[in-house]
């Protein structure tokens, strides 16, 4: 008889625990059922997520279920930016699209407001629902009364309450570290402004990778 692969064993045990209704199972329960070391479990878990064979959602220690039986929980990501930086914002959202395809996040930016909507109310609603807020920082962002005094203030307030996570993304060099954002870890690497990178796509890829890590941590550890 052919030996069952670790990958198939993981899925079979998950399906058995999930049941016909496709309920979500905690990582702790599944790992205990498999009797695997955490390193091995995490490697197979990561591989199956990449293959979209399993879906995850937030819960103590993280929850998962077989794909098809349940729907993945995507984190809502709000992009706060100055319209002066629209070009870099558009390039960054392209780099975030693979994370949407992976069912990790759902990106919202203000150009998704449709004609006839109350602009201010819709932004407030989406910001109030956001799990992650990316602040695309430049001198124009800091000097924007709406970005700085309205969106940033609300985002930081929700982070203090534990309702969301604010991630500063430094687009162009400025004294951002003298602002309330200075206490937060910024991206890309060491808060080096995207515009100063020789390869901008490399900087944006670094940001997307950081957002991915943050999203997975939020889904699996909340």
Q: Looking at the structure, do residues 89 and 187 belong to the same domain, yes or no? A: yes
Q: Looking at the structure, do residues 187 and 101 belong to the same domain, yes or no? A: yes
Residue pLDDT, tens place only, 15-33: 999 887 788 999 999 999 9
Rounded mean pLDDT of 93-118? 75
Residue pLDDT, tens place only, 126-146: 888 899 999 999 999 999 988
Q: Give a yes or no: residue 50 inside a domain.
A: yes
Among 66, 91, 116, which residue terminates a domain?
Answer: 66
Please give the model's pTM, rounded to 2 decimal places.
0.75
Q: Looking at the structure, do residues 116 and 81 belong to the same domain, yes or no? A: yes
Q: Looking at the structure, do residues 105 and 163 belong to the same domain, yes or no? A: yes
Mean residue pLDDT of the chain comes to 87
Residue pLDDT, tens place only, 53-65: 888 888 777 888 8
Among 46, 66, 86, which residue terminates a domain?
Answer: 66
DSSP the chain: -PPPPHHHHHHHHHHHHHTTTT--EEHHHHHHHHT--HHHHHHHHHHHHHTTSEEEE-STT-EEEEBTTB---PEEEEEEE-GGGHHHHHHHHHHHHHHHHTTSEEEE-GGGPPTTS-HHHHHHHHHHH-SEEEEEE-HHHHH-IIIIIIIHHHHHHHHHTTS-EEEEEE-S-SSGGGSGGGGSPPBTGGG--GGG-SSHHHHHHHHHHHHHHHHHHHHHH-
pLDDT at residue 71 in the model: 61
Q: Looking at the structure, do residues 204 and 150 belong to the same domain, yes or no? A: yes
Q: Looking at the structure, do residues 203 and 160 belong to the same domain, yes or no? A: yes
pLDDT at residue 85 in the model: 94
Q: Looking at the structure, do residues 213 and 185 belong to the same domain, yes or no? A: yes
Q: Looking at the structure, do residues 61 and 161 belong to the same domain, yes or no? A: no
pLDDT at residue 1 in the model: 43
Q: Give a yes or no: residue 84 inside a domain.
A: yes
- Find the domain containing 166 and state its range: 75-221
Q: Looking at the structure, do residues 60 and 163 belong to the same domain, yes or no? A: no
Rounded mean pLDDT of 38-44? 92
Residue 114: pLDDT above 50?
A: no
The CATH number that applies at residue 48 is: 1.10.10.10
Q: Looking at the structure, do residues 100 and 40 belong to the same domain, yes or no? A: no
Q: How many domains, in total, are found in the chain? A: 2
Residue 118: pLDDT above 80?
A: no
């Amino acid at each position: 008889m052919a030996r069952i692969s670790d990958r198939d064993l993981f899925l079979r045990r998950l399906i058995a625990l999930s049941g016909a209704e496709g309920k979500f199972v905690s990582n702790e329960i599944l790992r205990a059922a498999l009797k695997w070391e955490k390193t091995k479990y995490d490697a197979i878990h990561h591989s199956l997520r990449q293959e979209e064979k399993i879906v995850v959602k937030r819960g103590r220690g993280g929850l998962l279920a077989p794909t098809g039986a349940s729907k993945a929980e995507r984190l809502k990501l709000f992009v706060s930016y100055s319209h002066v930086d629209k070009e870099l914002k558009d390039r960054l959202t392209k780099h975030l699209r693979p994370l949407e395809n992976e069912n990790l996040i759902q990106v919202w930016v203000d150009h998704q407001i449709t004609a006839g909507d109350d602009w201010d109310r819709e932004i407030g609603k989406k910001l109030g629902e956001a799990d992650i807020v990316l602040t695309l920082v430049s001198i124009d962002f800091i000097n924007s009364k709406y970005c700085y005094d309205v969106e940033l203030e609300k985002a930081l307030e929700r982070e203090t309450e534990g309702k969301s996570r604010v991630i500063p993304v430094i687009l162009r060099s400025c004294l951002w570290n003298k602002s309330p954002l200075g206490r937060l870890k910024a991206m890309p690497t060491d808060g080096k402004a995207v515009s100063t990178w020789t390869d901008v796509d490399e900087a944006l890829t670094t940001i997307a990778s950081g957002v991915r890590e943050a999203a997975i941590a939020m889904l699996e550890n909340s």
